[in-house]
Amino acid sequence: MDFRLPAETLRWRDELRAFLRAELPPGFQGSDDYFDNEEQMAFARQLYRKLGERRWLAPAWPEQYGGMGKSMLEQLVLNEELAWHRAPSGGRLFTIGITGPTLLVHADAEQKERFLPRMASGEDWYCQGFSEPGSGSDLASMETRAVRDGDDYVVNGQKIWTSNGHVADRMILLARTATDVPKHKGVSAFIVDMKTPGISVQGIPNMAYRRDFNQVFFEDVRVPARNLVGGENNGWYVATTTLDFERSNIAAISGARRTVHDLVAWAKERHGGVRPWDSARVRTELAELHLECEVGRLLAYRTAWLQSRGAVPNYEASIGKVWFAQLGIKVTNAGVNLLGLQGQLQPGAPGAPYDGRVLQSYLLAVSGPIGGGTAEVQRNIIAQRGLGLPRG
């Protein structure tokens, strides 16, 4: 593949960077306080609506759905720049990075016209209703049921680890629609309005001082049959497409690159009369992390290049997922240790370097090898679909 971006894409990247410098407050360190902070929520919503007005939020989507008609390379550039500038993540990953591309593959024409423009404009944020208390890696063992009743499906059950569930407008939901077939063949996918009667959301605080995880309960929730995506009992194929897009996101690697960049700058300053950069061990560790970030960046670019050619990367996305997850832990662990006792200060605490962001990222990184499919699952995909090895 050619790792060089086209001249037109480079010009657009410069425009995007100028926009972000103008829209983000001076000295902006990045914040996802919109989980609990209404002011930050309004800021995040406004930022993404402004991107939507320029058709920049989903540049790879067709123009008729609010995009620019470009390729996944432009989408990669957008995600990379937003993460580098620490723009609030908002609902971008689950909306533009996951659900939208999945609908482009599996939704019918009417559904695309109904859902995609509101996503590309920044009006609707999505969350993902996949995992359940008893079905994580074995996703096909889900028990949430959707039973046809006239023009609706009636949904009962529970989902867990639903990131952004309390701020999302809609959800892409997996539910069981048949019980007399192999479990992978009895699943269906739906788009659900989160304001539908019978839906309740309960937060799950995490150790990173954020409330982005949720449990979502469904009690006789009526979902219009026209919101069924990909056909009844075909949801497993919809889900695998969704997960492939989730695992190929570059935002994580761009965030890691920015953290390494900041740690280098911090190490070159004097702290208590000592300049960490003078230590060969510190220089070597940061240099190795920089190289690993570049490897991850190239993996992400390859995945986007395959997507730009109409392919749906599978084992390639899993390679990236394993690499990004482990790298996130290594970068943030190195950061917390380099910053010393100050590195243990919580976000918002006086004297916390980078407003405690490195510590918060360190605590969040622990879930990296689990979320979006465990590292063990990813390695099985790489072995079977990438290397052609038999099932164990």
pLDDT in tens, 168-197: 999 999 999 999 999 889 999 999 999 999
Asked about 246 being catalytic, the answer comes back as yes
User: What average pLDDT does the chain have?
Assistant: 90
Angle between helix axes 357-365 and 251-267 (nearest 10 degrees) is 140
Residue 265, CB-side half-sphere exposure with 13 Å CA sphere = 8
pLDDT at 248 over 60: no
Q: 246: pLDDT confidence band, cut at 50, 70 and 90? A: low
Whether domain 248-386 has CATH 1.20.140.10: the reply is yes
The active-site residue, picked from 246, 285, 292, 316, is: 246
Segment 351-378 shows an average pLDDT of 86
* Residue 231 contacts residue 303 (beta carbons within 8 Å): no
CATH C-level class of 128-232? mainly beta
Please give the C-alpha separations between residue 149 and each of 2, 252, 282, in angstroms, as whole numbers.
Answer: 52, 42, 63
3-class secondary structure, 26: coil
pLDDT in tens, 58-84: 998 999 999 999 988 888 899 889 988
pLDDT in tens, 319-340: 988 999 899 999 999 999 999 9
Structural domain boundaries in the chain: 7-90, 128-232, 248-386
CA dist 195 and 323 (Å) reads: 37
What percent of the residues of the chain are helix, what percent strand, and what percent coil, each to the nearest 5? 50, 15, 35
Whether domain 7-90 has CATH 1.10.540.10: the reply is yes
3-class secondary structure, 73: helix
Q: Residue 36: its pLDDT value, please?
A: 64
Three-class SS of 140-197:
HHCCCEEEEECCEEEEEEEECCCCCCCCCCEEEEEEECCCCCCHHHCEEEEEEECCCC
pLDDT in tens, 292-307: 999 999 888 888 888 7
Segment 53-60 shows an average pLDDT of 95
Q: Residue 250: its pLDDT value, please?
A: 64
